[in-house]
Chains A and B, each alone.
Chain A
Amino acid sequence: MSLRFGRIAACAALAGILASLPLTLAQAWWVTPLILQAETYEDAQAGSDSLHHDSAAVPSETLVAGEAAWQPEDGWQRTLSTAAANGALGIGHALILVGLFSLRRPLGVKQGLAWGLAGYTAFFVAPGLGLPPELPGTAAADLAARQYWWLGTVLATAGGLALLFLQGRWQLRVAAVFLLAAPHVIGAPQPPALLSLAPEALQAQFRAATLVSNALFWLALGAASAGLFRRWCGTAGS
């Protein structure tokens, strides 16, 4: 048990870090500059009505975060923090994938890519249909409500995909379709008014950038996890 878990953890750690590298690069070149650009609009708004700001409609993060909390400075500190967060996120996702691989061994790297695509769908595409990735300074519904919806959508989509592709009974496949559709029928919590400090063109660019960079990340993660699992955990469990 300990040996097998150790191998799973080692596989996941390496696969997660490897897959987070292209993500960090794509962010540094493409995604983060858009966030920084959006923050200039946010800062301008914070400066213009610093005495009275309507934080319920458009939360200004610089004010919400508070003065006392540490915040990485723009530049290498921010890049390094993001790289570390990406690494942690990558290892987390890889642990889920490799854990599942130990129950259902991938036949090759190609199948790993399919698992990556499933992860991309469950963790990014499905929640993004209701709550698309947003630039700072975009109006949004209550945070807790959105987090519950996000979590529910991820679990329902993952469960739905599993029932659709990992088993053969048609009754359960029908249930899978309902499970996949349910979060979108219920609908994501939306703000009373769609307000955004950043222009629509910037939002569109940001959505495209996150769509591509996350696809890159998940495909790399699926391939790396499957490749490493087959290499290191080859005899375990078979």
Chain B
Amino acid sequence: MARPVHYDACLFSDPVKEMTMAIQAISRLAGAESARLLSAACAVLLGFGLVLAVGFARVDAVHNATHDTRHSAGFPCH
């Protein structure tokens, strides 16, 4: 019942072509991966900056506006 194996249809029939495709696939993944890391890092840093802007506000008007939020969220206030 076993079928004959067609060697020319095998995965590594054309090593150069396969290698090129593999490198392309890896670099695509690496690009996607670094973009994913970059956007995650941007979001986390921006978020932390926003939290600190509210919690550690120095400008008087902003400091006064965020006063109750700071007390309620447990930030050191004054």
CA distance A210 to B72 in the complex (A): 6
B68 engages A65 (CB within 8 Å): no
Which secondary structure dominates chain A's binding surface? Answer: helix
Instruction: Spot the interface stretch: A43-51, A128-136, A168-176, A177-185.
Output: A128-136
From known contacts A12-B43, A92-B48, A102-B39, infer whether A82 and B69 are also in contact, taking CB-CB under 8 Å.
Answer: yes
Give per-residue flags for A9-35: 1 if the beta carbon is below 8 A from chain B beta carbons, else 0.
100100000000001000100011001
From known contacts A82-B69, A132-B74, A210-B72, infer whether A9 and B43 are also in contact, taking CB-CB under 8 Å.
Answer: yes
CA distance A98 to B36 in the complex (A): 12
CA distance A140 to B75 in the complex (A): 12
Smallest CB-CB separation from B50: which chain A residue? A92
A5 engages B66 (CB within 8 Å): no
Q: How large is the interface on B (under 10, 10 to 19, 20 to 34, 35 or more residues)?
A: 35 or more
Give the A-B pair count, Cβ closer than 8 A. Answer: 158
Q: Does A66 contact B (CB under 8 A)?
A: yes
Instruction: Report A-chain residues with C-beta under 8 Å of the C-beta of B67.
Output: 61, 82
B40 engages A214 (CB within 8 Å): no
CA distance A123 to B48 in the complex (A): 11
A146 engages B43 (CB within 8 Å): no
Instruction: Give the 4 A-B residue pairs with the shortest CB-CB distance, closest first.
Output: A95-B47, A99-B43, A92-B50, A69-B60
16 extra interface residue pairs, beta carbon distance < 8 Å, beyond A88-B53, A140-B76 = A1-B35, A12-B47, A31-B72, A69-B61, A70-B61, A70-B64, A72-B65, A88-B50, A89-B51, A89-B55, A92-B50, A123-B51, A133-B74, A136-B78, A143-B76, A150-B76
Q: List 16 A-B contacts (CB under 8 A).
A: A1-B35, A12-B47, A27-B68, A61-B78, A64-B78, A68-B60, A69-B61, A70-B65, A81-B68, A88-B53, A89-B54, A95-B47, A99-B47, A100-B44, A133-B72, A140-B78
